[in-house]
């Protein structure tokens, strides 16, 4: 049997999903799954997933429909696996990220060091800036995909496929290596007390928001890798296809997201490094394995 190359595989996927009946089945299934309780990440995220899928599949019959479909399905699979990983996987693991972060911090866990600037009950402007940065995670990737679809369509297939592979890989790691974040390690006595500015700020601005998020795919022991950092890294990698100032903004966004997550006690530095590695590997891996993917846009 002759092996199927990257170009042939991509063409096969695109051709299969180009049929009208297949498109309607994918759209109907996606809408049904998104509307099942406990699967919608948020109204905004769901909207950003459904609209481009419908537009590319029905209105403009865009060839990118195949990649929008893969992305949406991977997002739903990721949410499902992440939501149950803490109950069916091993662990949770608490100690290994502390050892690694102490090594990276030359004896001090970076989260403990950064939280010297946090005052419980008296948030500063940088706390609110961190909260705003954190919340962009829930729409940054689909919003970037929409921008690429309009301004850099040749990059869109690579972006969506890399993100999809990253989501799937991240979900499997959450399942196999459920890892506790710094704030849980603090509760268990493995670290000094670790504050959660995220919960303090959300509790003051939108009571119940965190609990709502936990019911729709949340998992307190899914720190490794940091998918927040991975998502920000995908945005930064895509931004490199634009003007220099856009690339700088993208890189700044990824760095700010990383600093926020470590400061908030939601992730260790090693979680962020793993998230960056995941994004980088899938981004450049897709480019090398499917070199003809740009012609699909």
Segment (H or E) for 180: none
d(CA 187, CA 195): 10
pLDDT category at 38 given cuts 50, 70, 90 is: very low
The whole-number pLDDT of residue 275 equals 97
Is the pLDDT at 291 greater than 60, yes or no? yes
Which among 4-18, 49-63, 161-175 has the top mean pLDDT? Answer: 161-175
Tokens of 57: 């599949």
Is the pLDDT at 55 greater than 90, yes or no? no
Q: What is the mean pLDDT of residues 218-229?
A: 89
Sign for the CA dihedral angle at 139, 142, 285, 179 comes to positive
- Is 175 within 8 Å of 88 (Cβ atoms)? yes
Q: Could you tell me which residue, 35 or 227, shows the higher pLDDT?
A: 227
Number of alpha carbons in the 13 Å side-chain half-sphere of residue 279? 22
3-state percent breakdown (helix, strand, coil) of the chain, nearest 5: 70, 0, 25
Is the pLDDT at 215 greater than 50, yes or no? no
Is the pLDDT at 208 greater than 70, yes or no? no
- Is 58 within 8 Å of 88 (Cβ atoms)? no
Q: What is the mean pLDDT of residues 205-221?
A: 57
The whole-number pLDDT of residue 83 equals 76
pLDDT (tens digit per residue) in 103-162: 999 899 999 999 999 999 899 999 999 999 999 998 899 889 989 988 888 899 999 999
């Amino acid at each position: 049997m002759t092996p199927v190359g990257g170009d042939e595989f991509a063409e096969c996927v695109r051709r299969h999903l180009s049929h009208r009946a297949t498109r309607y089945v994918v759209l109907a299934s996606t809408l049904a799954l998104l509307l099942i309780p406990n699967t919608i990440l948020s109204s905004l995220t769901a909207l950003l997933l459904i609209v481009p899928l419908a537009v590319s599949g029905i209105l403009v019959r865009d060839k990118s429909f195949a990649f929008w479909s893969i992305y949406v399905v991977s997002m739903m699979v990721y949410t499902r696996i992440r939501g149950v990983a803490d109950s069916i996987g091993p662990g949770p693991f608490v100690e290994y990220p502390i050892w690694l972060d102490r090594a990276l911090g030359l004896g001090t866990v970076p989260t403990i060091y950064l939280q010297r600037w946090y005052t419980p009950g008296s948030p500063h402007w940088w706390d609110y800036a961190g909260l705003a940065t954190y919340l962009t995670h829930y729409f940054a990737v689909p919003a970037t995909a929409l921008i690429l679809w309009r301004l850099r369509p040749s990059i869109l297939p690579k972006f969506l496929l890399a993100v999809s592979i990253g989501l799937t890989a991240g979900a499997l790691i959450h399942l196999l290596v459920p890892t506790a974040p710094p704030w849980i390690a603090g509760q268990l006595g493995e670290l000094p007390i670790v504050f959660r500015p995220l919960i303090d700020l959300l509790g003051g601005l939108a009571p119940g928001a965190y609990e709502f998020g936990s019911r729709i795919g949340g998992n307190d022991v899914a720190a490794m890798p940091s998918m927040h950092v991975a998502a920000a890294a995908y945005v930064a990698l895509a931004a490199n296809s634009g003007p220099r100032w856009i690339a700088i903004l993208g890189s700044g966004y990824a760095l700010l997201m990383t600093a926020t997550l470590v400061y908030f006690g939601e992730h260790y530095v090693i979680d962020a490094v793993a998230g960056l590695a995941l994004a980088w590997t899938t981004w450049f891996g897709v480019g090398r394995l499917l070199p003809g993917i740009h012609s699909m846009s």
